[in-house]
Amino acid sequence: MVGGIWVTIADDRGGAAGALSVDGRTGHRPIAEQEGVMPRFLIERDIPGASGLTETQLAEIAEKSIAAMESLGVPYRWITSYVAGDKVYCVHEADDEDAIREHARRGGFPATVVSVVANEFGPHTARLRV
Report the C-alpha gap between 110 and 61 in whole angstroms. 12
Sign, Cα dihedral of 92, 97, 42, 112: negative
With residue 91 as reference, give the H or E element that holds it: strand 87-94
Per-residue pLDDT tens for 89-100?
A: 999 999 999 999
Q: Is residue 117 within 8 Å of residue 40, measured between CB atoms?
A: yes
Q: Is it the case that residue 81 has pLDDT exceeding 90?
A: yes
State the pLDDT at residue 77: 97
Which domains are delineated in the chain?
Answer: 6-14+33-120 (3.30.70.3090)
Q: Which of 1-5, 33-37, 41-45, 123-127 holds the top average pLDDT?
A: 41-45
Report the C-alpha gap between 81 and 77 in whole angstroms. 12
Q: What is the crossing angle of helices 97-107 and 55-71, to 10°? A: 130
